[in-house]
């Protein structure tokens, strides 16, 4: 395994982070524990969850993922050997079963305490704002419309998080699904008012979605706020299994067709071209896709997810794959012709 330091901390984290959002829905507790065992054995010490998981979010399943991590921590006694990241759910019609109070001080307190109980721990290493409270562009939206109903609350959110840090319940904070303006506003507030600094940003990044490079990459590198790249496999599309027709009936896009972000004609064509590059260079598409993300200078850790151990083994092994300049040039040539097809 390869390791890096969580920006502005002394916390060492694996370059591969184990994502968990299928546990409690597509995966059972025992399967989740098996994935944790394998990843830990291979040197993965970074685990990501959220109070809204598993996904799709429902009132019946909410919190199951963190419960599964909690029972594994209790069974193994590995709490002091792993770095735990979690998130408070933002407002939305699919999270109203959790709360409708946004990121108020009370909401942050409720979210933190709920996760501590589920995870069976006394502290969370990295606590993140899952998505902005204001309405802004994310998940493939292109045209921007100003949210005139929202009132600036960056300062209030940071004060709420600061209270949790001072109690020792969380150690560090980050953002997720945020854009450049929001990220810089958080950093401005922390500098101006001596409030907690956002250390990481967890956004989607993959061969099919390189929008992070347009402006956030510069923010990440100049401000040293590390990307925790999620969906590096584009919901499994970048495994090549859908193109090859070997995905199986329990594949994510069959079970949950609403997650069609990476299933457009443009995405399919780009994936075909990436698959050819991988095969021509004696790699699987999955390992090439993950290696591409792993190698980016602004990436602190790549969040991988799997529904079975074979997938997990292949994904973890990507840490040993290094793409040559020639392969990177071939990848960039595809992106020049079909840029960011998922957006």
215 sits in the region (left: phi over 0; alpha: psi -120 to 50; else beta) called alpha
Contacts for 136 with CB less than 8 Å, ≥ 6 apart = 144, 147, 179, 182
Rg of the chain over all Cα atoms, to the nearest angstrom: 19
Residue 320 is classified by DSSP as G
Whether residue 39 contacts residue 78, with contact meaning beta carbons closer than 8 Å, is answered with no
| CA-closest candidate to residue 321, choices 282, 268, 272 | 282
Instruction: Please confirm whether the linkage preceding 56 is cis (ω < 30° from 0).
Output: yes
Half-sphere exposure of 51 (CA within 13 A, CB side): 28
DSSP, collapsed to helix, strand or coil, labels residue 306 as: coil
Q: Helix (H) and strand (E) counts for the chain? A: 12, 10
Specify the CATH number of the domain 3-202.
3.20.20.100
* Alpha carbons 124 and 112: distance in angstroms, whole number: 8
- pTM (2 decimals)? 0.95
Residue 122 is classified by DSSP as S
Q: Which residues are catalytic?
A: 53
From first to last of its 343 residues, the chain has per-residue pLDDT tens of 999 999 999 999 999 999 999 999 999 999 999 999 999 999 999 999 999 999 999 999 999 999 999 999 999 999 999 999 999 999 988 899 999 999 999 999 999 999 999 999 999 999 999 999 998 877 667 788 898 989 999 999 999 999 999 999 999 999 999 999 999 999 999 999 999 999 999 999 999 999 999 999 999 999 999 999 999 999 999 999 888 876 666 565 656 666 678 889 999 999 999 999 999 999 999 999 999 999 999 999 999 999 999 999 999 999 999 999 999 999 999 999 999 998 6
User: Domain ranges in the chain?
Assistant: 3-202
Tell me the residue ranges of DSSP E strands in the chain: 3-5, 12-14, 16-18, 46-48, 83-88, 124-129, 170-176, 198-202, 226-229, 299-304
DSSP, collapsed to helix, strand or coil, labels residue 157 as: helix
How many CB atoms neighbour CB 9 within 10 A?
17
């Amino acid at each position: 395994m390869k390791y890096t330091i969580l920006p502005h901390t002394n916390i060492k984290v694996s370059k591969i982070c184990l994502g968990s959002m299928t546990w409690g829905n597509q995966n059972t507790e025992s399967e989740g524990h098996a994935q944790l065992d394998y990843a830990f054995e291979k040197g993965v010490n970074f685990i990501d969850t959220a109070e809204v998981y598993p996904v799709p979010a429902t009132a019946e399943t909410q919190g199951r993922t963190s419960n599964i991590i909690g029972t594994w921590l209790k069974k193994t006694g590995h709490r002091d050997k792993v770095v735990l990241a979690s998130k408070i759910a933002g407002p939305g019609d699919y999270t109203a079963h959790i709360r409708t109070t946004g990121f108020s001080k009370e909401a942050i307190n409720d979210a933190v305490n709920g996760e501590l109980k589920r995870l069976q721990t006394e502290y969370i290493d990295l606590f993140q704002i899952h998505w902005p409270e204001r309405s802004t562009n994310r998940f493939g939206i292109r045209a921007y419309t100003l949210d005139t109903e929202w009132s600036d609350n960056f300062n209030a959110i940071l004060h709420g998080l600061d209270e949790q840090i001072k109690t020792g319940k969380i150690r560090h904070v980050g953002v997720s699904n945020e854009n450049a303006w929001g990220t810089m506003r958080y950093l401005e507030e922390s500098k101006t008012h001596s409030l907690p600094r956002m250390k990481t940003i967890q956004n989607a990044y993959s061969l099919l979605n390189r929008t992070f490079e347009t402006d956030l990459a510069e923010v990440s590198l100049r401000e040293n706020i590390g990307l925790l790249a999620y969906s590096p496999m584009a919901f499994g599309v970048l495994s090549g299994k859908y193109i090859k027709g070997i995905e199986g009936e329990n594949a994510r896009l069959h079970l949950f067709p609403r997650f069609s972000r990476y299933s457009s004609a443009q995405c399919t064509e780009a994936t075909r071209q990436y698959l050819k590059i991988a095969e021509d260079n004696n790699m699987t598409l999955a390992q090439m896709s993950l290696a591409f993300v792993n190698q980016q200078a602004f990436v602190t850790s790549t969040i991988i997810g799997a529904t079975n151990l074979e997938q997990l083994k292949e994904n973890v092994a990507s840490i040993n794959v290094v793409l040559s300049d020639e392969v990177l040039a071939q990848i960039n040539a595809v992106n020049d012709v079909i840029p960011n097809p998922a957006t």
